[in-house]
Structure 1
Amino acid sequence: MLKDAQGLVVTTDSANAIAGINHFIDQMLGYGKDAETVVLQAIAADPTCALANAYAAAYYLTQENRKAWQLALPYLQTAQQYCTKITPREQLYVQAISAWTNQEIDVAIAIHEEITNRFPRDLISVQQGQYHYFYTGNKDKLLEIAQKVLLSNPENHYLSGMVAFGLEQCHQLQAAEKMARQAIALNRYDPWAHHAIAHVMETQGRVDEGIAWMESFADTWENCNSMLYTHNWWHIALYYLQLENYQKVLKLYDTHIWERANKQSPKDQVGAISLLLRLELCGVNVENRWQSISPYLYSRIDEHALPFQDLHYVYALTKAGHHDWVNQMLQNMQYHTLNINPFLRRSWIEVAIPAARGMVAHAKGDFHTTVTELKPVLPRLHEIGGSHAQRVLFEQVYQDVVLSAQKQSWDYAMS
């Protein structure tokens, strides 16, 4: 057995496998573009390494689409095959990824909590625990799972960035910025720490400062995966949107967001969709950009990886005129609730599906249905995940309808 760079024992005798695992950890924590490549190199060095196989499965699960889920399965099965002779930490991790594969997110969360309690230097487990808390809307736990391992990981900039984002989501903005700046002082190339401060400055209305801040680090994102590369530029676009510099926003969309996106990536698709919708809410003509996205969304119709994503898909498909696809997707969302873990079912039935109907109605210009469907679920939208900056979009859609109704009433009264 050997130890990884975190000082944790890994069941392998291959130094090359350890090197691959270390590189994978760095790539995942830093949102690098080579995570898949290096974890597969680790497996090639030792095909019997259960942890490397579980890491590969986890990587594919983070992609949140059916094709990637299918890629995850053989690696998880291999990890399970070699699970009897590995360390307790590795066994727990394999169990967590197995639960994730089965959409037993509550079970996965509990296991990640146990890992962080017993093995607080396992930052991959912390990151994946945060991931699940993020997409189930539990901001307090998202912060706590990272905070509780701070003492065990002194001067670790990745962890500082993770804590900073949790602090921001819990509205502790001053502490979040301080923590993120500490991370960046240790490593200028920490895109998640940049991202945390982008949230802080946006929340505080520091628009010009936010642009200058994010653009000063943009050169460091070239080695990021497409998700965080496009997402950090998305935050810059939001700043310019607040300044009503719509041509700049469209240019950023065309050059740094959709142009640089992995067109098959759900997270990249969601970022592009949300920016187009924000532009239209500001009265901007986005021309044929809905039609450019829509062909990549067909495979999403019966996938239902995350309810947060589905709300974006149905809107984009409606705007592109694919009403048959939209009806099919809404129907499939109902079927999906019959087969999912009870921990997730309630938010799908009570929040996601009504919100999806409301988003479709808005895209069609049916403002009465938009209000009927969206108004009751707005206080609960955190349950389907996403950040404050992302979820505010649904409130903006609702407010757009309210303002339109007020304007129509005023025009009628004046006529």
Structure 2
Amino acid sequence: MLKDSQELLVTTDSPDAIAAINRFIDQALFYGKDAEIAILQAITADPTCALAHAYAAAYYLSQENKIAWQQAQPHLQTAQKNSAKITNREQLYVQAILAWANKEIDVAIALHEEITNKFPQDLISVQQGQYHYFYLGDKERLLQIAQKVLPANPEHHYLYGMVAFGLEQCHQLAAAEAMARKATAMNRYNPWAHHAVAHVLETQGRVEEGIAWMESFADTWDNCNSMLYTHNWWHVALYYLERGDIEKVLSLYDIHIWGCANKRSPKDQVGAISLLLRLELRGVNVGSRWQEISAYLYPRIHEHALPFQDLHYVYAIAKAGFTNWVNQMLHSIEQHALSVNPFLRQGWIEVAIPAARGMVAHAKGDFNTAITQLKPVLPRLHEIGGSHAQRVLFKQVYQDALLLAEKQNWIYGITA
């Protein structure tokens, strides 16, 4: 056995495998574009390393799409096959990723909590625990799982970025900003800490500071994966949108957001969709951009990886005019909700389905139906996941429906 960069034992005798695992850990915490390469190099160096295969499976599962889920399966099988004599931490981690693959998110979370209780240096497990809490809308535990390991990692700037984001989500804005700025002072290359400050400044309406802050670090994002690269630029675009500089927002969309997206990546698609919708709510004609995105969305119709993603997809394809796709997707969501793991089922049935119907109604100009479907779920939107900045979009759609329905009803009333 050898130790990784976190001073944790890994069941391998290959120094090359450990070196590659260390690169993967750094890439994962940085949201780097070479995480997949690094972990596959570890597997090449030691094909029997269960932890490396579990890391690879986790990487693919985090892509939240059907193809990547299929890519994860052989790695999970190999990890299980080689798990008889691995350490307790590695066994817990393999079980956590297997639970994730089986959509047993409550089981996965419990295992990540156990890992971080016993092995608080394991920041990959902290990061993945936060990921699950994020998409369950559990902001308190998103913060707690990172905060509790601070004493064991007193000078770890990546952890400070994780804690900062949790603090922001829990509305502890001053503490979040201080923690994220400290992380960035320790290491300028910490895009998640940049992101945490962006959230604080946006929430407080500090638009000019937000632009200056994010643009001063934009050069450090070139080695990020497309998700965080496009997402951080998305935050920059929100500042310019608040400023009313529509031309700049469209330029950022075309160059840094959809222009630099991995166009088959769900998270990149969601970011682009949400920005187009925000522009349209401001009365901007976005041209053929809905059709351009929707061309990539057909594989998403029956995927249902996350309800947060589905609400964006179904809106985009409705705006693009693909009525048959919309009907297929709404029916598919309903079927999925009946078969999904019981831990997740209530959120799908009681929040995601009416929200999806409401989003489609808004896209089609049926504002009264949009109001009827969206109003009851507004207090529960956190259950579909996403950040405050992302979820506020659905409230904006509802408010827009209220205004347009009133106008529509008045016109119809006059003509009647």
Does 2:288 match 1:312?
no
Amino acid at match of 1:147: Q
Amino acid at match of 1:237: A
The answer (yes or no) to whether the contact 2:368–2:405 under 8 Å persists in 1 is no
Q: 2:81 maps to which residue?
A: 81
Q: 1:331 maps to which residue?
A: 331
SS for the counterpart of 1:5 is coil
Does 2:303 match 1:303?
yes
Deviation at 1:405?
3.1
Measure, in 2, the Cα distance between the counterparts of 1:110 and 1:210.
Answer: 36
Does 2:71 match 1:71?
yes
Q: 1:221 maps to which residue?
A: 221
Measure, in 2, the Cα distance between the counterparts of 1:404 and 1:54.
Answer: 50
Q: 1:186 maps to which residue?
A: 186
Measure, in 2, the Cα distance between the counterparts of 1:404 and 1:238.
Answer: 23
Measure, in 2, the Cα distance between the counterparts of 1:66 and 1:316.
Answer: 19
Q: Deviations over 1:339-384 (max 9, x none)?
A: 2110100000000010000000000000011001000000001001
Distance 1:410 1:339, change over 3 A: closer
Q: Deviations over 1:263-307 (max 9, x none)?
A: 000000000000000000000000000010111000000000000
Deviation at 1:407?
3.9
RMSD, matched Cα: 1.1
Deviation at 1:335?
1.1
Deviation at 1:406?
3.7
SS for the counterpart of 1:304 is coil
Amino acid at match of 1:382: H
Measure, in 2, the Cα distance between the counterparts of 1:122 and 1:338.
Answer: 36
SS for the counterpart of 1:303 is coil
Deviation at 1:338?
2.3
SS for the counterpart of 1:337 is helix
Measure, in 2, the Cα distance between the counterparts of 1:266 and 1:320.
Answer: 17
Measure, in 1, the Cα distance between the counterparts of 2:302 and 2:152.
Answer: 43
Q: 1:158 maps to which residue?
A: 158
Residues 13-412 of structure 1 mapped to structure 2, 5 A cutoff: 13-408=13-408
Amino acid at match of 1:399: Q
Q: How many residues align?
A: 415
Measure, in 2, the Cα distance between the counterparts of 1:98 and 1:414.
Answer: 60
Distance 1:103 1:412, change over 3 A: closer
SS for the counterpart of 1:83 is coil
Higher mean C-alpha displacement, 305-314 vs 395-404: 395-404
Measure, in 1, the Cα distance between the counterparts of 2:393 and 2:338.
Answer: 28
Measure, in 2, the Cα distance between the counterparts of 1:397 and 1:219.
Answer: 33
Measure, in 1, the Cα distance between the counterparts of 2:10 and 2:154.
Answer: 22
Q: Which runs of 5+ in 2 are unaligned?
A: none
Q: 2:8 maps to which residue?
A: 8
Measure, in 2, the Cα distance between the counterparts of 1:370 and 1:159.
Answer: 41
Q: Deviations over 1:66-124 (max 9, x none)?
A: 00000000001000001110000000000000000000000000000000000000000
Deviation at 1:238?
0.3
State the percentage of identical aligned residues: 76
Deviation at 1:413?
8.9
Q: Which runs of 5+ in 1 are unaligned?
A: none
Deviation at 1:401?
1.1
Measure, in 1, the Cα distance between the counterparts of 2:291 and 2:201.
Answer: 33
SS for the counterpart of 1:373 is helix
SS for the counterpart of 1:85 is coil
SS for the counterpart of 1:270 is helix
Measure, in 1, the Cα distance between the counterparts of 2:182 and 2:293.
Answer: 38
Amino acid at match of 1:347: G
TM-score by length of 1: 0.99
Deviation at 1:411?
6.6
Measure, in 1, the Cα distance between the counterparts of 2:272 and 2:414.
Answer: 39
SS for the counterpart of 1:13 is coil
Amino acid at match of 2:12: T
TM-score by length of 2: 0.98
Q: Deviations over 1:153-190 (max 9, x none)?
A: 01100000000000000000000000001100110010
Deviation at 1:410?
6.5
